[in-house]
Amino acid sequence: MLPHVYSGKVRDIYDAGDDRLLMVTSDRMSAFDVVMNEAIPSKGRVLTAMTAFWLEHLSDVAGSHLISTELDDLPQEARLPEWAGRVMLCHRAEMLLIECIVRGYLSGSAWKEYKTSGTMHGTKLPGGLQESDQLPEPIFTPSTKAEQGLHDENISFEQAVDLVGQETATKARDISLELYRRGSERAAERGIIIADTKFELGFVGGELVLCDEVLTPDSSRFWPADEWKPGITPPAFDKQPLRDYLDGLDWDKRPPPPPLSDEIVQETSARYREGYERITGRSLNDWPGA
Ligand SMILES: Nc1ncnc2c1ncn2[C@@H]1O[C@H](COP(=O)(O)OP(=O)(O)OP(=O)(O)O)[C@@H](O)[C@H]1O
Ligand SMILES: [Mg+2]
């Protein structure tokens, strides 16, 4: 087998030689930062297919690390049938030390900060905004890339400049804002709000390109547009059945996770699939591994 490099909560990464990485997206599901015991069928294929769709759709905004999603293009020993549809052969990039977050709506940690100090990543926002309000315009709100197990820290644009330099920070911001604008425009046509998202950029051959997963429900907040309104936390398009179930339990949100019923597992799987099919207009059955 290829040498194993790293495993995150969802992905397993292998060294594919020639400065290439193989990213294999599993069906593992995390909620409240805890990985569930049950796999969500098709989730890894959805995340892979969606990333591939966006990289193609947005290729005029930024280049990408992706070489292939076909099993046949992998080194012989990595062509495992169970990996069909969930592999990304990529150029190894020199990753930026920041995560490129763009927020179009006020939610999550940004809402918490605004509520206490009227700012977002240290920058003053207009007064009187409610939770989940649309921001006057999408804003680039970077964070540090924390070591494994630690939480990323929200930083200001000036702090991002200190970490990666003025030129790269400016480029990363401009690319990220344009990716978000284009991506959220497409999703909105399909009835999905992308409230915020995290891009990861890195250098390949001296060019700043889009890496990692792109505009997926795992890297973004997707809301059904018809269930959004300011003042509430709109349901997450993908995780809501699971979160509602977990919230109804007497569980302290620390490992070990509680067991999930087959119904919750199937419902969550269907949500992921629906998100993919709505946004891309493609059928998941046409993606490898069906
Ligand atoms: N082309 C690339 N070259 C080098 N590193 C990459 C590339 N694309 C993505 N990465 C890195 O690979 C890792 C992907 O890991 P993964 O997303 O599975 O776990 P994680 O981000 O550590 O945790 P989480 O499970 O919360 O996402 C990230 O650290 C990401 O920055
Ligand atoms: Mg990740």
Query: Closest by alpha carbon to 225, among 265, 275, 266?
Result: 275
Average pLDDT value over all residues in the chain: 96
- State pLDDT tens for residues 226-238: 999 999 999 999 9
- State pLDDT tens for residues 64-85: 999 999 999 999 999 999 999 9
The beta-strand segments (E) located in the chain are: 4-7, 11-17, 20-25, 30-31, 34-35, 66-68, 87-91, 94-95, 98-105, 119-120, 123-124, 134-140, 143-144, 192-204, 207-211, 220-224
Ligand in nearest proximity to the CA of 51:
1
In this structure, are residues 4 and 14 in contact, taking their beta carbons and an 8 Å threshold? Answer: yes
CA distance 139 to 214: 18
Spatial CB neighbours of 139, under 8 Å, sequence gap ≥ 6: 102, 103, 120, 123
32 CA distance to ligand 2 middle (Å): 15
The kind and range of the H/E element at 269 are helix 262-280
Q: Does residue 148 have a pLDDT over 80?
A: no
Q: Ligand 1 pocket, 202 CB below 6 A?
A: yes
CA distance 87 to 82: 10
* Index of the ligand 1 atom closest to the CA of residue 12: 18
Q: Ligand 1 pocket, 2 CB below 6 A?
A: no
CA distance 62 to 250: 45
pLDDT of residue 133: 98
Residue 222: phi and psi, rounded to 5, are: -100, 130
128 CA distance to ligand 2 middle (Å): 33
- State pLDDT tens for residues 24-52: 999 999 998 899 999 999 999 999 999 99
152 CA distance to ligand 1 middle (Å): 13
Q: How confident is the model at residue 89 (pLDDT cuts 50, 70, 90)?
A: very high
Q: Report the SS3 class of residue 187.
A: helix
Ligand in nearest proximity to the CA of 67:
1
In this structure, are residues 39 and 27 in contact, taking their beta carbons and an 8 Å threshold? Answer: yes
Query: Closest by alpha carbon to 284, among 31, 53, 9, 23?
Result: 53
- State pLDDT tens for residues 184-226: 999 999 999 999 999 999 999 999 999 999 999 999 999 999 9
* pTM for the model: 0.96
CB neighbours (10 Å) of residue 4?
11
210 CA distance to ligand 1 middle (Å): 12
Q: How confident is the model at residue 167 (pLDDT cuts 50, 70, 90)?
A: very high
